A and B are shown apart, each in its own frame.
Chain A
Amino acid sequence: MPQIKKNKIEKTYWRSLQDKMDSKELESFIVNEFPKGTVEVSETMTRKKFLSLMGASMAMAGLVGCRKPVQKILPYVNAPEDIVPGIPNYYATTMSMGLNSFGIIVESHEGRPTHIEGNPNHASSKGSINSYVQASILDLYDPDRVKTPMYNSESSNLTNFKNELSSSPQDDTSIAVLSGSFNSPTTRRLYDKFRKKFPTSTWATFDLKSQENQISGLNEVVKEDLLPIYHFNKSNVILSIESDFLGNHDNSIHNQKTFSESRRVKTKEDKMNRLYCVESILTNTGMMADHRYKIKPNQAYSFLAELNNSLSQKGLYKLKKINIKKSIFDKKYQKFIKVLAKDLIKNKSKSIIAIGDELPRELHSLAFIMNQELNNNNTTITYHSTNDFLKPSLASTKELIKKINSGNLDSLYILDIDFVHLFSHLLTDKITNLVTNIYYLGSHRDLTSKISRWMIPKSHYLEAWGDATSIDGTMSIVQPLISPLYKSISTNEFISLLLGDDVSDYDLLKETEIWSSKSSSVFKKTIHDGYLKSKASSNIVNIQKISIKSQQNIYSKIENYLSNEKIGNLIARFTISNQVYDGRYTNNYWLREAPDSITKISWENVALISIKTAKDNNLKNSNVIKLKSKIDMKEFEIEAPVWILPGIPNDTIILEMGYGRELERDVDRNYIDEDVLGVNVLPIKEIGNYYSTNITLSKTQETHKIACTQDHHGLDFEKLAADEIEGRLPEIIRESNIEDYRLNDDFVLDYDRKKHIPDNDSDLPSMYPSHDYSEGPQWGMNIDLNVCSGCNACSIACQSENNIPVVGKQQVMDGREMSWIRMDRYFKGDIENPEFALQPVACLHCENAPCEQVCPVAATTHDKEGLNGMTYNRCIGTRYCANNCPYKVRRFNFYNYTYDTPDVVQMANNPDVSIRFRGVMEKCTFCVQRISEAKITAKNEKRDLIDGDVKVACQTACAMDAITFGDIIDKNSEVSQAKSLSHDYTLLKELNTKPRTTYLAKFRNPHPDLVEDNNKKGIIEHH
């Protein structure tokens, strides 16, 4: 065990509280590459003994029955015209999530969809995707999907279901349907038909993440149902109040694309936007912010009221002043509000106030008014009609629950909502005692399917025909990539059955007016392109200015709240999960295992609390707490493990919804067990409120281990013999204030210069002869830390493209997660009010790779084009390469992680990439399969490669366009231009590894009046 020099310098960057405190536990993770499993397997059979035994038996083995294995080739009988085996086809389709839809292009190998990318021509995705869209392909191949219609939990068939529907006469008032919100014109048509046929039935629309307050808040002021789209590329100053527009947001891809446009800095003359974020949780948007201030969930009212008054005072005279008795903010916070107001006014018509979906409607109305006075409406914020959408309605849901509780409901049709998980705590009795018949269209055998009379499997969107509209009005068609794998039907077909018709989803699509009115060639073109080209598609509404004087009721509501606010000590704040969303991705293991970008926890949800709250309640990580709440005179309680997160407000417990869904699985995979069920936090949540007051907390005696990856694969620069300089200048994350950059544009080299590292790394001495890289293509990559928001889309894209296995919670706890891209999240500075930095690290493809130099069997070699290649069949698993890698990007297959992969899940694999066996090292390959494909295509077409021929998976997924990849010999390529920027730097340059992936430094753009305050954020006074 090497001696570790205790460093007396206060760390600038730290990855977790243990890291900051230099805990002993953490040392073992940093010093040992593989902290566990470095002990001999057992006393009786050591490795040495094993080898000697094998050597002896080798002579005897191998002669018995060595027949060549027979491999069969099964060609088609009738070959389909458009499939050439070996060449993938690409089809455009659309994925809907709530009220928005994303145009995607799906790669299909021999009729099997294998990888999803964004459709460059579709306005809501513009060629990129987010982690949900990327991982949705795994849901298609989910082996636990319900495969046949089930009648009282026994297998049945659709004919019986159809017969039952047609034979039972329905009395309107006793039927109810529960669905999520829709943006599809065909579904809307069927919905209208249903309402016409059963006028007194109930149709409730419920979204856990709902836009309802946004829509009704805008309706209050402009009398139309609208949704905003933010155009961050046109704004200089952005204020987010509880709006995670870069992360979990219905239009996140568009937001990321436009935000990165105004954020990106290439030269010192470039402008950069400024982001203020005021939130009660920690989000990707908050981590990106230049100024981030905490509020407790209920204090959004106070903040907006004070901001309103400040804006009114500083120039927006039309704004009505809101009556506030006493400010809850301290002097520093008040200063912040004043500076913020000044900044917003200075950037009239070039600013955005974005407000979180969950916030109450009067705050949405107020935000609209402020945006109006700042001349942002119709310029940086456009408003779009939602008339044709089926919007979420809390009132309808409450009415449905009431109806159920009254026992008057005969039939309840549930369209893909886990009713029991969401609502069972609101019912007065077991649902089976209240509703006679439940019909459930869903995909998994969850608790709702158990109580259903009929459970009908729902087709995945990649198996069904349909259509979709995105928020900006773009219409597109959903085309299937594969026939339904099981006996499933789509939502449209289900509603059609309820109407008494038996129509296929293709015919239902064609009957919808918008498509039936188009010629066959336009229809085909729409399917091919992935969107309908039409001027009429745009649904922008030009907003007229409203008179603020007439909006008295908004102000009354706000003032009423402020004067009557009575909350208890603890608040539970509910959020949508980055992993399971609202629970629908419970069985999607790519999403479950990808560490949450905020907490770095995989597989489960936790109760997040601040450091002070933990101290006050004597809590440590993994302690299980009991949370009790009183809603409508009833007491509810849940138990959840605790996790301490710096940067969240005190006395607030942040709980992720969507977990705790109990599913019955068909396939027993060794890493899925009750241990990763998570906690269903909905019982203590009041429906429609995003936070619960009157929470009491009590500590239980139990602990629950959590798989958190924040300290794994640490790049601990202390061990690299750096001295006191490291305390002053950060090395791994290099950043600067944008104003300092303008004065000193090669600041990135300052650190290296202090350590006497030459600017030009070819002047560094090396023991090894360098390769000849004079001829192209030479592959390189550049990652712009300034725009990376840490959303994890790149990591999941890599997993999809490269067949990376899922290892399960226990293995993640041992540090053995397999994702090739590691998203490092660093805190900076003060424990109470940290700043953040995010850095994705994958194999950097060093020219002087330390891993190649130590491989005893030359399994990892360097090729002529600069790639550090990996030959899996040669690897004997010494793991010396991973030990030598200073960036800790190599991943070892400790077990045969793919041995129990069900056949159907294997269909999701990319056939162009090997599946790795046990005992083999793997790492990022710069998508060598894509490079080979592009080179071969170019050779076959007898031409040279051009920039843009090769786009690696992470690059296409990134909606912030943070990753560039290409030929560094070509001076005009995107990547060469990025690398030539003055703030481009090499990670751990002094090691002379000469990595091909370099980073662009991060910039912060604080307001000059708040610069000293940046390190000492304002606190909120308590009443």
Chain B
Amino acid sequence: MGSVVFFFSYFGSPKFTDVGYRPDQPIDYSHKLHAGELGMDCRYCHTSVEKSQEAIIPPTQTCMNCHKVVGLENEKLDLLRESWDSGKPIEWVRVHMLPDYAYFNHSVHVNANVGCASCHGRVDQMEKVMQIEPLSMSWCLDCHRNPQKHIRPDNIDVTQMDWLPSENHEEIMSKFIDQHKILPPEDCTACHR
């Protein structure tokens, strides 16, 4: 009986089923090239992350901003050009999924200075986007109950992927949190509507 419980609690938990999910995308887009080597800011493409609950996948138009002139002979971009010409959207595969009944809002986290890397990992080093963190409710609550671990000081941008916390980080952040009244909700109604 115990082994059955262990079996389901381990293999059924998001740590096993979701972490490491690295699906193939229709276009082999490399964040390592664009965000890492070229140094593009996350928000150039994921534009609504500071305003809305969703940090959208950029429209084909955003890619065409450069790729109208760059990589015109690259066959990897054939699908992109096809989408632009035909008006049909590219069907990206979603990597970070939350169930429909859980409502997550990006803007309130970004505005509270939670770094992109805290939840999405080092995307700027990924050739193919992979889910690093389980995004389970217990994982979210770990931070909500202890926000000083993951919130960045004021002067550090959320999109700075290589930032690491300093030694007395939590001490400084406790003051910051009190000052800015950052109160991550721990009630069910925060996310379950």
Q: Taking beta carbons and an 8 Å cutoff, which residues of A are in contact with B?
A: 59, 62, 68, 70-79, 84-87, 861-865, 867, 869-873, 912-915, 925, 928-929, 932, 936, 939-940, 942
Contact = CB atoms under 8 A, between A and B. Distances in A.
A77 B86 CA distance: 9
Which of B60, B185, B188 is the most central at the interface, judged by chain A CB atoms within 10 Å of its CB?
A: B188
Contacts of A74: 89-92
Contacts of B90: 74-75
B193 A913 contact: yes
B93 A86 contact: no
Contacts of A873: 99, 101, 192
Given A75-B59, A869-B189, A939 B93 contact: no
Interface in B85-115: 87-94, 97, 99-101, 103, 105, 107-108, 111-112
The 5 closest A-B pairs by CB, nearest first: A863-B187, A86-B52, A869-B189, A76-B59, A86-B54
Given A913-B193, A914-B100, A73 B57 contact: yes
Given A70-B94, A76-B60, 16 more contacts: A70-B23, A71-B97, A73-B57, A77-B88, A78-B59, A87-B48, A861-B187, A862-B187, A863-B190, A867-B187, A867-B189, A871-B188, A872-B192, A913-B193, A914-B100, A942-B180
B21 A68 contact: yes
B51 interface: yes
A414 B90 CA distance: 45
Contacts of A77: 59-61, 83-84, 87-89
Interface string B168-190: 00000000000010000111111
Contacts of A73: 57, 91-94
B56 interface: yes
Contacts of B193: 912-914, 925, 928-929, 932
B66 interface: no
Contacts of B89: 74-77
B23 A936 contact: no
A833 to B, nearest CB: 47
B107 A940 contact: yes
A74 B97 CA distance: 14
Nearest to B99: A873
Nearest to A869: B189
B187 A939 contact: no
Interface string B24-38: 000000000000000
B51 A84 contact: yes
B2 to A, nearest CB: 13
B188 A863 contact: yes
Contacts of A861: 187-189
Contact of A72 (B4, B92, B101): B92
B9 interface: no
Contacts of A867: 187, 189
Contacts of B58: 75
Given A77-B88, A84-B52, A869 B192 contact: yes
Contact of A75 (B60, B97, B186, B187): B60
Contacts of B17: 68
A79 B56 CA distance: 11
Nearest to A859: B188
Which of A86, A87, A940 is the most central at the interface, judged by chain B CB atoms within 10 Å of its CB?
A: A86
Interface string B10-24: 000000011001010
Contacts of A70: 23, 93-94
B53 interface: yes
Contacts of A940: 50-51, 107-108, 111
A84 B192 contact: no
23 contacts: A62-B8, A70-B23, A73-B92, A73-B94, A75-B57, A75-B59, A75-B92, A76-B89, A77-B61, A79-B61, A85-B48, A85-B52, A86-B56, A87-B53, A871-B101, A872-B101, A873-B99, A914-B192, A928-B193, A932-B189, A939-B108, A940-B111, A942-B111
B94 A864 contact: no
Contacts of B53: 86-87, 936
A915 B101 CA distance: 8
Nearest to B91: A72
A869 B97 CA distance: 23
A869 B48 contact: no
A939 B100 CA distance: 24
A674 to B, nearest CB: 36
A585 to B, nearest CB: 29
Contacts of B54: 85-86
Contacts of B23: 70
Nearest to A863: B187
A870 B101 CA distance: 11
A913 B185 CA distance: 19
B95 to A, nearest CB: 9
Contact of A76 (B61, B91, B103): B61
A650 B57 CA distance: 68
Nearest to A936: B108
Contacts of A865: 187, 189
A936 B57 CA distance: 22
Contacts of B190: 863, 932
A914 B99 CA distance: 10
Contacts of A913: 193
A84 B54 CA distance: 9
A72 B21 CA distance: 14
Contacts of B107: 936, 940
Which of B8, B84, B107 is the most central at the interface, judged by chain A CB atoms within 10 Å of its CB?
A: B107
Given A76-B89, A87-B51, A873-B192, A939 B59 contact: no
A942 B179 CA distance: 11
A68 B18 contact: yes
A864 B187 contact: yes
Contacts of B60: 75-78
Interface string B141-180: 0000000000000000000000000000000000000001
B87 A72 contact: no
Which of B50, B53, B62 is the most central at the interface, judged by chain A CB atoms within 10 Å of its CB?
A: B53
B103 A72 contact: no
A84 to B, nearest CB: 5
Which of A71, A75, A86, A936 is the most central at the interface, judged by chain B CB atoms within 10 Å of its CB?
A: A75
B37 to A, nearest CB: 24
Nearest to B112: A939
Contact of B61 (A78, A863, A914, A932): A78
A104 B73 CA distance: 52
A72 B94 contact: yes
Contacts of A71: 93-94, 97
Contacts of B51: 84, 87, 940
A525 B9 CA distance: 59
Contacts of A932: 103, 105, 189-190, 193
Nearest to A914: B101
B188 A85 contact: no
Interface string B62-75: 10000000000000
Contacts of B100: 914-915
A929 B103 CA distance: 9
A68 B54 CA distance: 22
A85 B48 CA distance: 8
A133 B185 CA distance: 37
Contact of A87 (B52, B108, B186): B52
A524 to B, nearest CB: 24
Contact of B93 (A72, A84, A87): A72
Which of A85, A865, A915, A942 is the most central at the interface, judged by chain B CB atoms within 10 Å of its CB?
A: A85
A873 B137 CA distance: 13
Contacts of A942: 111, 180
Nearest to B192: A871
Contacts of B108: 936, 939-940
Contacts of B57: 73, 75
A85 B106 CA distance: 12
A998 B158 CA distance: 45
Nearest to B54: A86
Nearest to B100: A914
